[in-house]
Amino acid sequence: MADRGHWGSKLGFVLAAAGSAVGLGNIWKFPYITGENGGGAFVLIYLLCIVVVGLPVMTAEILLGRATQKSPVGAVKALGGGFWVVFGGLGVLGGFVILSYYSVVAGWAMHYTYLALSGQIVGLGPEGVEPLFGSLFTSNGLNLFWHALFMIVTVAVVWGGVNKGIERWARILMPTLFGLMIILLVNSFTMSGFGEAFDFIFGFHTEALTAAGVLEALGHAFFTLSLGMGAMLTYGSYLDRNDDIVVSAITISILDTVIALTACMVLFPIIFSYGMEPASGPGLVFVSIPIAMSQMHGGTFFAFIFFALLVFAALTSAISLLEVVTSYLIDEKGWLRHKATVFAGVVIALIGIPSALSGGTYLFGDGFAGVFGRNWFDTFDYLASNWILPLGGLGISMFTAWRVDDAIRHREFLDGSRLGVFYKGWLVLLKYVVPVGIVLVFLHAIGVI
């Protein structure tokens, strides 16, 4: 217990939790799935998923953590136990799986930051940039190098603990990230493709929306808000009794959404101004954007800012992923923080090696054969976004709504809360709406609908 940390302030918690939420999901994945799903209507559905599914689950996670002052496995044991503990365990598994490949993509962002900084993006021009990036993806050495470096930095932060590591870095990185985002946004305002981009993102183009797109939006709501694997629960466990759960959950969700939409407003004007394809998939950020930036005024500067921002966003999310595993080892196995952090970091880095080796071929197909005919990278991403997080979210919401004692739950919801009146509505969403939504995602994943 002595090793359990605590936030230094409410703001520190909100920044750290927003740091967890704002990540590659917002700046890399959200823009490209918005592009693939045709923009506007998809964005609207996504916003709906955030409010109706994401917000209630986030509230539940923070509540479970704050109530028990424990990480996922311990929290579930303390409030009901039984087979529900499986869902706590799933969270720890999620930490291993997600961080192992997340770190590979973060490594790409580090490599691009280096390329921008050394003037290569602008220096080589569009024709030179394209093969340059292809060669990163197929280089095992570069992928392994950046993956290892990113894991070392993540371990170094978590090693410092909740207050002196996670919170301290969130206080530095998050305001920096907001600042960089504003610089990029101002630049995008001035671009000729701004109007077209605005219409693409906010215009209501229903024709492009499919059932698959709706379910993708729901799945992404979990990923982007860091839900379903106990990250918010763990961060909530370092809160005080009198901290406002609902207001925190709303603030974190708003910050996450604003950053995701801003990322679109930064990227799509660049894409449209240079006549590139909005639906270019995972290569949007790593191929199309650098090609466009290589032709832009001040391209070196903007490319550097953009990729540094991507690295910061990834880092604060990776920290929370590592913290879930670390806090499990501390709470449940009685380990000291330093040992837990290094052990978890090394194991995750090792699990990530196949992703680093096949990550290179991810964008171009033909990877290292993994499961389900996908390469490892793809397999892990698929497992996490389509199975582990929704299943964890289902478990957490059902556990909170159907198993946790109402007296405890109600008291926890009201303690420190300015929005206690929403208790009934929250419970209804958690009991019925959230589970039905998640089950639909599963039925879709197995091809039934």
Binding site for ligand PHE (CB under 6 A): 20-21, 23-26, 98, 223-224, 226, 229, 231, 317, 320-321
Minimum CB–partner distance for residue 239 and ligand PHE (Å): 17
**Cβ-count burial 86-112 (b if 16+ within 10 Å, e if not):** ebbbbbbbbbbbbbbbbbbbbbbbbbb
In the bound state with ligand PHE, the residue whose beta carbon lies nearer, of 121 and 227, is: 227
The dihedral sign for the CA sequence 374, 226, 103, 158: negative
Distance of alpha carbon 346 from alpha carbon 351, whole angstroms: 9
Which residue bears the tokens 């939420």?
21
Distance of alpha carbon 311 from alpha carbon 109, whole angstroms: 6
Distance of alpha carbon 32 from alpha carbon 108, whole angstroms: 16
In the bound state with ligand PHE, the residue whose beta carbon lies nearer, of 67 and 98, is: 98
In the bound state with ligand PHE, the residue whose beta carbon lies nearer, of 62 and 229, is: 229
The dihedral sign for the CA sequence 368, 371, 375, 376: negative
Minimum CB–partner distance for residue 225 and ligand PHE (Å): 6
In the bound state with ligand PHE, the residue whose beta carbon lies nearer, of 30 and 368, is: 30
Distance of alpha carbon 240 from alpha carbon 7, whole angstroms: 8
Minimum CB–partner distance for residue 98 and ligand PHE (Å): 6
In the bound state with ligand PHE, the residue whose beta carbon lies nearer, of 96 and 413, is: 96
Minimum CB–partner distance for residue 232 and ligand PHE (Å): 8
Minimum CB–partner distance for residue 207 and ligand PHE (Å): 28
Minimum CB–partner distance for residue 257 and ligand PHE (Å): 11
In the bound state with ligand PHE, the residue whose beta carbon lies nearer, of 58 and 122, is: 58
User: Euclidean distance between the first and final Cα of the chain, in Å?
Assistant: 47
Query: In a 10 Å sphere around its CB, with 0-12 CB exposed, 13-18 middle and 19+ buried, how is residue 271 labelled?
Result: buried
Q: Torsion-angle region of residue 37: left (phi > 0), alpha (psi -120 to 50) or beta?
A: alpha
Minimum CB–partner distance for residue 253 and ligand PHE (Å): 11
- Closest C-alpha to 354, from 372, 373, 375: 375
Alpha-helical segments (H) within 274-375: 283, 289-293, 299-333, 337-351, 353-362
Minimum CB–partner distance for residue 114 and ligand PHE (Å): 21
Minimum CB–partner distance for residue 414 and ligand PHE (Å): 28
Distance of alpha carbon 257 from alpha carbon 171, whole angstroms: 19
In the bound state with ligand PHE, the residue whose beta carbon lies nearer, of 23 and 360, is: 23
In the bound state with ligand PHE, the residue whose beta carbon lies nearer, of 129 and 348, is: 348
In the bound state with ligand PHE, the residue whose beta carbon lies nearer, of 289 and 384, is: 384
Minimum CB–partner distance for residue 324 and ligand PHE (Å): 7
In the bound state with ligand PHE, the residue whose beta carbon lies nearer, of 34 and 224, is: 224
- Closest C-alpha to 400, from 92, 90, 65: 65
Which residue bears the tokens 């006549």?
275
Residue 24 CA: distances (Å) to CA of 2, 72, 224, 337, 414: 34, 24, 8, 27, 34
**Using alpha carbons only, how large is the chain's radius of gyration in Å?**
21
Tokens, residue 1: 């217990």
